[in-house]
Chain A
């Protein structure tokens, strides 16, 4: 007997917040899932007219091709600084970025920390798949120990490269951030091979909406989505989902690290 956890309604079809363009994301990648979760949340909030997306550098650099909102591209890692400039001039706007782990946790960690520390009312969605995707699979600051990447061909040696950085925990140590949450987004294979647990999408949808609500309440919100990159992990889609559950989700377990306004209880 398979136990069904929660109820997930698949909202397919066109949305005014989506351009309708097919995405360039690889089959099996969670970027496409997140794009739809964001589009759905913006649509439900009726927020398209007051939204500005800041593209980061990495796989989400083309997010504006799919999300039908005003958008500006930022240099690598600088999205939180660009968002700050927009938001300070126009506090009425809903401003967010989708950043990858290389973008937000490596080259842009400083911009991320300072925007979070100022409590800028902006939203960062972090896609953490433990690897540089767009550049072809190099070690990320979030690569788990032992992960084979193009720049760690013998596996990541943390004695030499440092241990994976937990961005959610790091931000949660600051006073200002209002909402910090980590969701494991990929579907999880269950013992019955024809069945997947899609709880990540349900939780992801809630987290996206909560993050936007927190921003509109005046707080900095950050949601980390543990994701897969089967192409650069050099795995089948099925195996990548298993690896995400077995390895990545152990290094970066899901959790609510901060919820100043108590949005999760409402």
Chain B
């Protein structure tokens, strides 16, 4: 697929990014502010430019959609669903089963205001649900947090790669702001992804067969399976922590923010640096595994102050507290309800902290 330049909404970019990785199946259910994802894919269904895109289906419910993804994923297909908060809650049943059955899949959550119906503004309140498991039983998924439209386009490829490498659901956690934001982007020239699917259930050729199940009635057997899931996630934590640093080398205060908040913080860092304040930004790209290695390294270097900026009432801040192990002062700047702090508010907050 050739390199092309485009000007797209974040949601559209996710759809095209998925198509360019060789997406096989998408199962959708409309929910604001994520509906441009199924709409874009519906429009491109049948386009000979995307020959791998075999199935587009609008399901009757979020539950039906995620279970269709389970079925397609069980055949080794690159399968995907997209939703927002209320739908993400309903999908947790399927995500728990998929995690237990070790099925690779991609689920996008375009975070809106909550709890309940909330509103259609941007929030980062699904952080806990996405990063800590979300459904019943003990499991952890990989969670990616894009902070720009180009990253929205690039992360389906990264997401499917990680999903197949570790045989696990991967969540792209974005928000109403980035989903609706329109930006210039360049699609890289990448080949469609191909993965090992020798475990898939597509009919038993020969005496061997495949059974994909999350049920282990024998107590020690389930214990072994849970240990296996844990050690798999430990491997993910060792190998897949991703983050981006801006101006952190000499910084005395570090802003920690992901997604749209990282963009706002980046602007604030520029303003503060011009004023001579030694501030930097650490932007987690993987929310799970959380980039605790980078945070710990900053504390080891002597950083004493962190300011966590997020669109919730305190979720990622807990991971920052854990990663810094009580060795630093952690400040919080939080907005909810679809509101977000302006760069100048972030500047003021840092200036107070710097005193």
Contacts and interface: CB of A to CB of B under 8 A. Distances in A.
Given A70-B204, A81-B67, A85-B67, A75 B94 contact: yes
B202 A75 contact: no
A118 to B, nearest CB: 8
B67 A82 contact: yes
Given A72-B74, A82-B68, A82-B70, A90 B202 contact: yes
B209 interface: yes
B317 interface: no
A184 interface: no
B98 to A, nearest CB: 10
Contacts of B74: 52, 72, 82, 85-86
Interface in A61-92: 61, 64, 68-75, 78, 81-90
Given A88-B55, A88-B57, A89-B25, A83 B71 contact: yes
Q: Which of the listed residues A85, A88, A93 has the most CB atoms from chain B within 10 Å of its own CB? A: A85
A199 interface: no
Contact of A86 (B27, B201, B204, B215): B201
A27 B209 CA distance: 28
Contacts, number: 129
Contact of A93 (B55, B97, B202): B202
Given A72-B211, A82-B74, 8 more contacts: A70-B209, A71-B211, A72-B101, A75-B93, A85-B68, A85-B75, A86-B71, A93-B202
A110 interface: yes
A143 B65 CA distance: 30
Give 5 nearest A-B pairs by CB, closest first. A85-B71, A81-B67, A85-B72, A78-B67, A82-B71
Contacts of B212: 71-73
A239 interface: no
A89 B93 CA distance: 22
A69 B24 CA distance: 24
Interface of A: 48-52, 54-55, 61, 64, 68-75, 78, 81-90, 93, 110-111, 114
B192 to A, nearest CB: 16
A86 B75 contact: yes
Interface string B57-74: 101110111011111111
Contacts of B77: 89
Contacts of A90: 75, 202
Contacts of A71: 201, 209-213
Interface residues of B, number: 39
Contacts of B202: 52, 70, 90, 93
B73 to A, nearest CB: 7
A72 B71 CA distance: 8
A89 B70 CA distance: 12
Contacts of A61: 215
Interface in B218-235: none
B213 A73 contact: yes
Contacts of B70: 72, 74-75, 78, 81-82, 85
A94 B65 CA distance: 21
20 contacts: A48-B204, A50-B203, A51-B203, A68-B209, A70-B209, A70-B210, A70-B211, A71-B209, A71-B210, A72-B71, A72-B211, A72-B213, A73-B101, A81-B64, A85-B70, A86-B201, A87-B71, A90-B202, A110-B60, A111-B63
B213 A85 contact: no
Contacts of A52: 74, 201-203
Contact of A81 (B54, B55, B63, B203): B63
B331 to A, nearest CB: 42
Contacts of B71: 54, 72, 81-89
Contacts of B213: 55, 64, 71-73
Given A75-B94, A110-B60, A111-B64, A70 B203 contact: yes
